Structure 1
């Protein structure tokens, strides 16, 4: 049986401390927040988590537990994977050499989670997958104590994705031992082996693709009448860069003519009179440019969550007044704009206009503090 793991209580955090910096930690927090119908309890849970109101945390298969305020037993339950599901997950881990290396490096690869989902193995929780329990008199689902436990658990998940696998039923030692017991790869077939034996050996997995890091050397073009050789060199470098990204990521989003002009100016330091657009692109790509140029009305739920995050970032202090209009929130000399990618982009006043001034964050309070 997989042994439980214990973690010391988190001390009080600084104002503006963020939850879940990893993508899998974000998925954990989102599953809890999307289940909740009471943003006030979520705000209190964030405050409890940041001010160290929970005792040591115990993680065991299907169970996350702590004592809140020295008297309330708080538990969050997660469904464990079946033995068949674990075998399918191990198949996905073993199918790519980089998977186990990434896990041992405390990283959760996107493609591993996607492959596991395709094999009907849910690693990350979804809405309703986290079942909170608490001995406190609060009827919230989750109550502030269970919410605080989930928020603090995101810090554990950030540091070690094996915590998530332990909650699903097996810890690091169990997984490594199971992988070591699996059949060794098929022995390469040498010339002269009978066809039946060769076919029975199976096909070994392909190695990881090589890195695409070769520097681009622009072609040496001779000057010609009516031909801007420098512009052609820039376009060639741009095409090479886009091709390299396609090889890395499989595909790239289509860009409008305006977006492509901004991209070229940003990537190659071209003076096209697009200064603020170039700054927006460098901070957030097409999403950053859209935030600069377009105002839109986000879903109320997203705005309510952002308001709760702002309030939670100012525990013990009066939060600054916020002037809101659609996806643009102005707080003194700073304006935060909510992007369609779910991130908040900071802007500051410059030459009588709002100017992009930093990288985006999912937690708006991180940009204020």
Structure 2
């Protein structure tokens, strides 16, 4: 297992995991745990369903066995969560790209759940070492290494709550396809046969739209193209100047996108009122 280094550029969900753990008042114990993680004492981490098993080398000749788990959500709870995810295309797009949507926690809180542990009692951990404290430094070292795993694969966090990446992606695809299938089945006569769709004309509509039925609203979220695609460039200037320049350009482009979005909505409203 590679040694652990304190990362200043962790993905936000991995940093959130670390911040949550450190907020439980374990600072002194976790400081020793960080040292263990840095020194490479975590020899192995395995995921067995929603549980984590690890081997951590301590002062004894044989490594200690560590187990860790969170309370998994049940079938009904995951059903509600995935339904909420399917209603927002940006969630599916980012998760398919291996990223955690910035406001993903809203989906869980809206259904009375929390993706991250709320209290220390939400984390169930054991270690074979003689230290009665929980977390001991061996468990704490696993905590930090898990944060790195979350950065590499955000679906590991979902797995601790009871759903694998394959299960979530499959369920999302099924959810997003069901309404279209139901609409076709409800509207079509029993004797109707499927008709072919001309993809080149899919977005074309020749009939006149009823103006009273057209409602123009700003986008539901505040994410821009920059949030979805990330910074347009990377600068590696020494002394930290490159990061400052990149941040200034990013903020400037965001303000431009916000102004353009607002002007587009106003222009569309003006056009709609003239046509009406």
TM-score (normalised: structure 1): 0.47
CA distance in 2, matches of 1:96, 1:89: 12
Match of 1:96 in 2: 88
Does the CA-based 8 Å contact 2:85-2:107 persist in structure 1? no
5 Å matches for 1:345-364?
Answer: none
CA distance in 1, matches of 2:158, 2:17: 13
Match of 1:294 in 2: none
* 1:168 aligned residue (140, 161, 166): 161
Does the CA-based 8 Å contact 1:64-1:77 persist in structure 2? yes
CA distance in 1, matches of 2:11, 2:49: 22
Does the CA-based 8 Å contact 2:44-2:55 persist in structure 1? yes
Aligned length: 198
CA distance in 2, matches of 1:138, 1:65: 18
5 Å matches for 1:185-334?
Answer: 185-186=179-180, 211=224, 241=255, 244=258
CA distance in 2, matches of 1:104, 1:177: 11
5 Å matches for 1:47-58?
Answer: 47-58=35-46
CA distance in 1, matches of 2:171, 2:182: 24
Does the CA-based 8 Å contact 1:97-1:207 persist in structure 2? no
Secondary structure of 1:48 counterpart? helix
Q: Would you say 1:184 and 2:178 are equivalent positions? A: yes
**Structure 2 alignment gaps of length 5 or more:** 189-217, 227-251, 263-276
Structure 1: which 4+ aligned runs deviate by more than 3 Å?
A: 180-183, 186-190, 206-213, 240-243, 245-248
**Structure 1 alignment gaps of length 5 or more:** 1-8, 195-205, 214-237, 249-369
Inter-CA distance 68–241: structure 2 relative to 1 (3 Å threshold): closer
Higher helix share: 2
CA distance in 2, matches of 1:12, 1:139: 26
Match of 1:17 in 2: 6
Q: Would you say 1:67 and 2:55 are equivalent positions? A: yes
CA distance in 1, matches of 2:38, 2:29: 14
Inter-CA distance 241–102: structure 2 relative to 1 (3 Å threshold): closer
Match of 2:142 in 1: 149
Q: Would you say 1:87 and 2:79 are equivalent positions? A: yes
CA distance in 2, matches of 1:107, 1:95: 18
Match of 2:111 in 1: 119
Inter-CA distance 59–207: structure 2 relative to 1 (3 Å threshold): farther
Structure possessing the higher relative contact order (Cα contacts under 8 Å, 6 or more residues apart): 2
CA distance in 2, matches of 1:156, 1:110: 18
TM-score (normalised: structure 2): 0.62
Secondary structure of 1:137 counterpart? coil
